[in-house]
Amino acid sequence: MKFFFTFSLFTFFNLFSFSQDLSYYLPDSIQYDPSVPKPQDVIYHAVGEWHVTHDKLVNYMQVLAKAVPSRVKIETMGFTYEGRPQVLLIFTSPKNHQNLEQIRQQHVQLTDPQRSSSLNIDDMPVVLYIGHSIHGNEPSGSNASLLSAYYLAAGQGKQIDDLLDQSVILFDPSLNPDGLQRFSTWVNQHKSKNLVTDPNSREFNEVWPGGRFNHYWFDLNRDWLPAVHPESQNRLTWFHKWKPNVLTDHHEQGSNATFFFQPGVPSRVNPLTPAKNQELTQKMANYHAAYLDRIGSLYFTKENYDDFYYGKGSTYPDINGAVGILFEQGSSRGHAQQTSNGLLTFPFTIRNQFVTTLSTMEASKQLRKELLSFQRDFYKASISEAASASVKAYVFGDEHDQTKTQEFITMLQRHQIAVFQLVNNIKSGGLDFQKQHSYIVPTSQGQHRLIRAIFEKTFNYQDSLFYDITSWTMPLAYGLKYAELNASQFNNNLLGAKHVTANTTANFSVPAKSSYAYLIEWTELYAPAALYELLHEGVTVRVASNPFSMQVGGATKNYSYGTLIIPVQTQTLEADKVFSVIQNISKKYALPVQSFSSGTAMSGSDLGSSRFLPITKPAIAMITGTGVNALDAGEFWHLMDQRMNIPVSHLETGVFNRVDISKYNTLVFTSGNFNEINKEKLRTWVQGGGNLILLEEAVSWAVQAGFNNATLKKATPAFDTSAHLPYIDREQIVGAQAVRGAIFKADVDLTHPLGYGYITPTVSLFKSNKVFMEKSKNPFATPYYYKANPLESGWVSRQNLNSIKNSAAVVVSGLGSGKIISIADNPNFRGYWLGGTKLMMNAIFFGKMINTSSGITED
């Protein structure tokens, strides 16, 4: 069957003269209904002539759904942070549309081992999810979606009819609407009438942070598993509503590359992914190769990219009984760019994405029964594997932070994982779990493999090179106490009769009015949000620097370091106003607040003690712009804005150097290069009492700049520099020294202001850098540190592990009247590392009160 014109490169000067009628893109074996609007009829330019903006893209999809309702149904999955709709089109035959809900319900039964055996798959449609451009500055996917949607809506003949009759196609034209809009605006406003192809031109070099990310500068292609953002949450709802057999993820790569499709590097496939998945991936790859061969497009497979981290769009389906496929097109990054392969035009990149959409649909149709069988067998095998596995359940919970526990439950349930209340108190792994605050996840359920992927620690790997992180053990990330239960520990009597729902809220008592004082424990996740709101309303708040106990309801209750006290009589506000504010924050953040009529402590400091230190309202600025790691900056911004409701000013380097910064008492430098910062201005600000918080590579920069007295350890050499090694081994040896991301256990000084709110003396931190700090010579200035065996989960080279052993994770130093807090790792990683949140918030609220003097005088 003839599909395409045979040329693949062309002169861009006459490009649009033949692309107006879509003949450059569309198969010549298909006829099209002339009553169906073409893309240019709605977006007012030819496909590839300009970069489609998200509003025009959605408008075209809505027009198609209205024009061909018998084939197309459009749904709004939800909205992004910036209020853009996430639309999903459902393409299938008119007959299937008439029975769509019945088809969906029957298809989902394939994932239920108790019901799937009786299903007849002979005539069951295969379900595809076609997703485009999760990175906004990789736009050929979303622009190709205009063509694919038109092809599916307007195409006529047996080929199209058979495809639609045997398929239900979930069609997501833009996985990242906010990023796509940002990037399309950039390249369109820099396009010349006479196309400029010089890679140095402004069109191809976005300003910071670029269009890759969502509103908060997150990489949404790492968010499928944690599902922190609404874009991911909305998409997952529809993914699990339909349980697709195949999901495509259309990306772009460097401009000098050709085209990649999976399979990826064989040695980097997650061991929880069944071999049959990779077999089907290869079978589908044969179709991609054949289709790209027809148009003369170069491609490669089994290199560079892997299938290890389940938080990516092309890998998440693999742990859900489906086949995920990554497409990576060499990017024009604009309209036409000179590359090492010659001139690369935007229409050329669009055509390759469109062609591999066609190859995916054809492969899925031809492999329909095999894909459906694989899905059914995947979930059956999950139950069998669970029966033979040594771990029968996971128990978790934090009686000191019920809100964080509920966040974890919500994440699990987004992935269709059943969670139950614990009925009886149990002990496992040396940990006690109280039934009223603990939950249990049996492993014998359809999502057995995904449960393992979420809970297991990982130490053994086939390869030492990774495209993304090497571990993501989620209870450690959330900072939750958890344990495995084996067959002798687990039985169904531990499971509560009531299935825990995502709407379950933490139990807390609405405070009674007091004329004396209120206490709030610092252990709860959103206690910092409540503290800021109190300070913002003008309420005076103090923090306990000593533990103490009080009489509560006839019993003695212990309060730890970091407990907040709100005295009533010393406030400038009326007692009724103070009570109103406290009531509001208690309800808003599900935060327990205790009222007291006396300041007498049963033990420790009385409430009027000077051990309760005054807290200053933080006025925070973060350095942003060129040189700053946008991901890390976005993680801090998201934490403060979305979770804690605390405003943060974003200062670019030029602005910092120009303006009066005395209005800020806290500055945050995330990882990056800050060489253009006015260092003397920064030094003077710290000396004047400023609180400077440095994360990751910002620590190294400040040391090199001469005003951070933290000492960096020298990394252990990867190899003997006098040795002669084969050149072919260079990639493996050098690449293995990258710290791609692993989890390390740090010991915490719970008495230190930076340790307030933690209950156990260890915390799990995520490290993906080579910042290794020596412990401070001041014995009180290293509140977080690694011991001799810090690795909790993940892969790190022996040399890097040696550098991490017995190193400092956090060091505090003084400069004049100010403080410098150096945090070597990332406590805010990807927005879900809630185990590090308390460290970050302690640095914000309590950093200024740290005494950095060692108190030691030398003779």
User: Which residues lie below 8 Å from residue 301, measured CB to CB, with a gap of 6+?
Assistant: 260, 261, 262, 263, 264, 285, 289
Q: Hey, what amino acid is at 657? A: N
> Contact at 8 Å (CB) between 609 and 567?
no
> Contact at 8 Å (CB) between 826 and 696?
yes
233: number of Cβ within 10 Å:
16
Q: Considering the entire predicted model, what is its pTM?
A: 0.95
- What is the DSSP-derived secondary structure letter of residue 599? -
pLDDT score of 696 more than 50: yes
Average pLDDT over residues 128-146: 98
SS3 498: strand
pLDDT band at 508 (very low <50, low <70, confident <90, very high): low
What pLDDT score was predicted for residue 736? 80
pLDDT band at 497 (very low <50, low <70, confident <90, very high): low
What pLDDT score was predicted for residue 325? 98
pLDDT score of 14 more than 50: no
pLDDT score of 463 more than 90: no
pLDDT score of 504 more than 60: no
pLDDT score of 707 more than 50: yes
What pLDDT score was predicted for residue 6? 38
Instruction: Name 784's bridge partners.
Output: 748, 810
Helix axis angle for 346-366 and 275-294, nearest 10°, is 130
Distance, in Å, from the CA atom of 201 to the CA atom of 184, rounded to the nearest integer, reads 16
pLDDT band at 738 (very low <50, low <70, confident <90, very high): confident
Query: Tokens representing 505?
Result: 């809220």
The residue written with tokens 């919500």 in the block is 410
pLDDT band at 8 (very low <50, low <70, confident <90, very high): very low
Distance, in Å, from the CA atom of 299 to the CA atom of 289, rounded to the nearest integer, reads 8
Per-residue pLDDT tens over the stretch 76-126 = 999 999 999 999 999 999 999 999 999 999 999 999 999 999 999 999 999
Query: Tokens representing 677?
Result: 């910062």
pLDDT score of 1 more than 50: no
pLDDT band at 622 (very low <50, low <70, confident <90, very high): very high
pLDDT band at 501 (very low <50, low <70, confident <90, very high): low
Query: Tokens representing 174?
Result: 């833009």
User: Which residues lie below 8 Å from residue 43, measured CB to CB, with a gap of 6+?
Assistant: 52, 56, 57, 59, 60, 146
CA angle 186, 189, 194 (to 5 degrees): 120
Q: What is the DSSP string of 701-716?
A: HHHHHTS----BPPPP
Distance, in Å, from the CA atom of 135 to the CA atom of 126, rounded to the nearest integer, reads 27
pLDDT band at 370 (very low <50, low <70, confident <90, very high): very high
Average pLDDT over residues 556-576: 96
Average pLDDT over residues 233-253: 98
What pLDDT score was predicted for residue 18? 42
> Contact at 8 Å (CB) between 137 and 210?
yes
Poorest-pLDDT segment among 570-574, 718-722, 761-765 = 718-722
Average pLDDT over residues 393-405: 95
pLDDT band at 509 (very low <50, low <70, confident <90, very high): low
Task: Please report, rounded to a whole number, the percentage of residues in the chain having pLDDT higher than 90.
Answer: 88
- What is the DSSP-derived secondary structure letter of residue 88? E
pLDDT score of 348 more than 80: yes
pLDDT band at 135 (very low <50, low <70, confident <90, very high): very high
What pLDDT score was predicted for residue 4? 45
Average pLDDT over residues 426-444: 94
pLDDT score of 604 more than 90: yes
Task: Please report, rounded to a whole number, the percentage of residues in the chain having pLDDT higher than 70.
Answer: 96
Per-residue pLDDT tens over the stretch 403-428 = 999 999 999 999 999 999 999 999 99
What pLDDT score was predicted for residue 714? 83
- What is the DSSP-derived secondary structure letter of residue 642? I
Query: Tokens representing 80?
Result: 């992004």
Average pLDDT across the chain, whole number: 94
Per-residue pLDDT tens over the stretch 37-70 = 999 999 999 999 999 999 999 999 999 999 999 9
- What is the DSSP-derived secondary structure letter of residue 279? H
Is the peptide bond between 113 and the residue preceding it cis, with omega within 30 degrees of 0? no
Average pLDDT over residues 260-285: 95
Distance, in Å, from the CA atom of 12 to the CA atom of 194, rounded to the nearest integer, reads 10
What pLDDT score was predicted for residue 17? 45
Distance, in Å, from the CA atom of 725 to the CA atom of 723, rounded to the nearest integer, reads 6
Query: Tokens representing 5?
Result: 């014109």
Average pLDDT over residues 680-700: 97
What pLDDT score was predicted for residue 226? 97
Distance, in Å, from the CA atom of 332 to the CA atom of 297, rounded to the nearest integer, reads 15
pLDDT score of 238 more than 90: yes
What pLDDT score was predicted for residue 554? 87
Average pLDDT over residues 13-20: 46
